[in-house]
């Protein structure tokens, strides 16, 4: 279906929920990204899903939403004995629901508020366990740990989730670590708890059935409909849409996901939104995102519909909503085949150095040859931190750092051996993975950030990537695949983010031979850890190798502006992968190329016939092209280029 058709279906089931009540001390808006507070009363809002059925002979419609906007207004009796008593609100609190879709409210088409009653709060155990596992896998990292919540929210409620530069270096006490562990568990349960409401004054009996999705795959279309910032102006924000794609599923080895990660940009207030697939089937409910400490990166989380139904069947009587029957799927008789992008992800590897820093790689052949980035193996060339378990921070925004000083080649070789210790690669299949040791075959000393690894042990049935050497058209759809943000401890398969080719930058060949694609810019999100991943087209064929996203001179990462090396520029590597006998094939990649260097330095190169007076950009590009070794990151920058406003930022 086209997106407008999905929108028409979604509008039948999407509602906005408003909860308001007395709040004399102004405490109930804590951990919420927005609220409305007037004269001692706080109002919060979220989105929700209509379930158009009846309780026996009594007309009534049920509505599902997230519990997070209800819980601040629960009575202390219920908060203390959550599972033992019927939920009740504090005196003066009330819940209202606005419907603005195709459902007919009254003879008037003007949306208005309908009173609602809280029926139950329900935990989703499968989703809670999955979310807790993801948060727990990063609990030892201050820079890269995960927590639940919108980046726009204020979390000044007794502890500080963010730390400044000096605090990052200070050790945490045992007590604080324990408190954070408990808090992570509570946040995971809080984010996966839903509220069941009822509208006794209205029954929506004429709405279409909710079709369900049998299984979700990475790269599948998603559409969420909700009310971002709805409490501020419902008429402006109710039933807003956001379109994206399934980025990953958790757990990875299960045919029934407990949690979906969505490559979709949503705003606070959209939690509780129904999420639909490309056939207008309901996929699940949007909840609050995971956000990474320090970077502010957000990953939108969707609670799958089947996980919700499995938890709701206990309190919904058989004649209430026969959701369980509507979500049954004969998995034996309907074999769901992976889409081309999903199949290609079996060619994406997870690479670790000394069990610390991780990145991505692309499997080139069935003999275990892997293409990745040079900055993973030789970070000092790119002013990256050393490969160690406790620090993954970028030390500079400049691609190469020129200097009048050059290190002794023997010293660099010795340093290279240190950093090349304990290289491991995880080869992913559709249902399992295998960890293998690897060694370095080649690291480019030229302008392209590439390296080649070889598995020590070669598993059976490897699935090498299929390359496409044609130049992609600007605006064509692409899928960026890799292990961005989530490292090896999270046990995730590669994630995918979807965008388009923003621009193809070309560089001059030798004199008289025309231009060749040198860089591809895409709008798909690329995050740290995604280095060495593949940019795929809709056929699942690789068109370029991910190297970097962009970073503003002030330090802000721009994940939706990123750069990759076209397959056309990597043809010598793919030729070498055919028999792996002649390393001299790769020598062309080590030769100086001023035009190619200038492209990857984001600097203009000097064209033939230009004025003899050098520009800063042309001097820098020429320098990079001539240097085979560059200084270590700890040496000062002597180029005067520190004032540049935009840099390629290695991942």
| Cβ–Cβ under 8 Å, residues 213 and 221 | no
Beta bridge partners, 495, equal 482
* Nearest CA-CA partner of 359 in 485, 261, 453, 459: 485
Structure-token pair, residue 80: 């203390």
Length of the chain as a residue count:
651
Angle at 450 between CA 444 and CA 453, to 5 degrees: 90
| Cβ–Cβ under 8 Å, residues 558 and 549 | yes
The DSSP-derived string for 359-425 is EEEEE-STT-EEEE-HHHH-GGGGTBPPSBTTB--B--S-SS---S----HHHHHHHHHHHTSSEEE
Nearest 10 degrees: Cα torsion 105, 110, 111, 113: -80
| Cβ–Cβ under 8 Å, residues 222 and 304 | no
Catalytic residue among 327, 449, 544, 577: 449
Q: Return the sign of the alpha-carbon dihedral for residues 503, 504, 508, 512.
A: negative
Distance, CA of 371 to CA of 348 (rounded, Å): 10
Nearest 10 degrees: Cα torsion 395, 397, 398, 401: -20
| Cβ–Cβ under 8 Å, residues 270 and 242 | yes
Beta strands in 406-476 (DSSP E): 423-428, 433-443, 451-455
Active site residue 531: yes
DSSP state of 58: B
| Cβ–Cβ under 8 Å, residues 96 and 224 | no
Please compute Rg for the chain using Cα positions.
27
SS3 for 215-261 is: CCCCCCEEEEEECCCCCCCHHHHCCEEEEEEEEEEECCCCCCCCEEE
Catalytic residue among 375, 392, 541, 595: 375
| Cβ–Cβ under 8 Å, residues 650 and 633 | no
Distance, CA of 543 to CA of 533 (rounded, Å): 11
Catalytic residue among 531, 544, 564, 649: 531
116 burial (CB, 10 Å; 0-12 / 13-18 / 19+) is buried
What 3-state class would DSSP assign to 485?
Answer: coil
Distance, CA of 570 to CA of 373 (rounded, Å): 12
- What do you get for the CA distance between the two ends of the chain, in Å? 36
Phi (first) and psi of residue 552, to 5 degrees: -70, 155
Residues marked as catalytic: 375, 449, 531
């Amino acid at each position: 279906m086209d997106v407008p058709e999905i929108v028409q279906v979604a509008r039948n089931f999407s509602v906005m929920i408003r909860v308001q009540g007395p709040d004399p001390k102004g405490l109930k808006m804590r951990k919420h990204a927005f609220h409305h507070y007037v004269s001692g009363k706080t109002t919060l809002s979220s989105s929700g899903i209509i379930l158009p059925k009846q309780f026996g002979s009594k007309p009534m419609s049920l509505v599902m939403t997230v519990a997070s906007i209800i819980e601040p207004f629960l009575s202390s009796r219920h908060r203390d004995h959550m599972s033992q008593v019927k939920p009740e609100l504090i005196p003066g609190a009330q819940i209202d629901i606005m419907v603005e879709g195709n459902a007919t409210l009254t003879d008037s088409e003007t949306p208005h508020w309908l009173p609602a009653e809280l029926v139950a709060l329900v935990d989703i155990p499968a989703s809670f366990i999955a979310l807790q596992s993801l948060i727990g896998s990063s609990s030892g990292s201050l820079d890269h740990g995960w927590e639940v919540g919108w980046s726009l929210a204020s979390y000044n409620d007794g502890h500080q989730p963010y730390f400044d530069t000096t605090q990052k270096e200070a050790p945490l006490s045992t007590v604080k670590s324990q408190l954070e562990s408990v808090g992570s568990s509570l946040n995971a349960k809080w984010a996966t708890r839903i509220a069941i409401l009822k509208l006794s004054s209205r029954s929506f009996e004429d709405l279409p059935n909710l079709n369900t999705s049998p299984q979700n795959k990475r790269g599948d279309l998603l559409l969420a409909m909700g009310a971002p910032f709805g409490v501020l102006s419902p008429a402006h924000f109710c039933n807003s849409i956001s379109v994206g794609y399934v980025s990953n599923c958790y757990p990875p080895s299960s045919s029934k996901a407990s949690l979906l990660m969505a490559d979709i940009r949503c705003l606070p207030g959209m939690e509780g939104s129904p999420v639909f697939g490309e056939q207008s089937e309901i996929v699940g409910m949007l909840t609050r995102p995971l956000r990474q400490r320090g970077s502010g990166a957000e990953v939108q989380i969707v609670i799958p519909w089947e996980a919700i139904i499995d938890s709701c069947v206990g309190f919904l009587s058989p004649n209430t909503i026969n959701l369980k029957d509507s979500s049954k799927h004969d998995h034996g008789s309907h074999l769901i085949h992976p889409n081309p992008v999903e199949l290609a992800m079996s060619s994406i590897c997870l690479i670790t150095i000394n069990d610390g820093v991780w990145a991505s790689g692309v499997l080139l052949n069935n003999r275990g040859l892997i293409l990745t980035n040079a900055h993973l193996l030789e970070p000092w060339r790119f002013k990256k931190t050393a490969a160690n378990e406790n620090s993954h921070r970028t030390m500079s925004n400049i691609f190469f750092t020129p200097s009048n000083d050059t290190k002794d080649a023997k010293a660099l070789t010795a340093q290279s051996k240190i950093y090349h210790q304990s290289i491991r690669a995880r080869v992913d299949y559709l249902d399992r993975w295998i960890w293998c040791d690897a060694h370095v075959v080649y690291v480019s000393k030229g302008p392209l950030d590439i390296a080649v690894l070889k598995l020590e042990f070669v598993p059976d049935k490897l699935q090498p990537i299929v390359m496409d050497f044609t130049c992609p058209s600007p605006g064509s759809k692409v899928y960026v695949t890799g292990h961005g943000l989530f490292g090896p401890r999270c046990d995730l398969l590669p994630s995918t983010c979807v965008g388009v080719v923003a621009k193809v930058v070309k560089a001059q060949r030798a004199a008289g031979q025309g231009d060749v694609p040198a860089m591809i810019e895409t709008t798909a999100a690329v995050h740290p850890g995604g280095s060495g991943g593949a940019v795929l087209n809709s056929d699942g064929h690789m068109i370029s190798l991910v190297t970097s996203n962009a970073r503003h001179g002030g330090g802000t990462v721009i994940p939706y502006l990123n750069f990759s090396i076209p397959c056309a520029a990597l043809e010598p590597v793919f030729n070498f992968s055919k028999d792996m006998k002649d390393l001299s094939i790769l020598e062309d990649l080590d030769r100086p190329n001023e035009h190619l260097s200038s492209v990857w330095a984001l600097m203009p190169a000097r064209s033939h016939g230009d004025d003899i007076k050098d520009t800063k950009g042309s001097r820098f590009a020429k320098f990079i092209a001539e240097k085979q070794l560059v200084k270590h990151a700890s040496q000062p920058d002597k180029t005067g280029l520190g004032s540049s406003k935009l840099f390629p930022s290695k991942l």
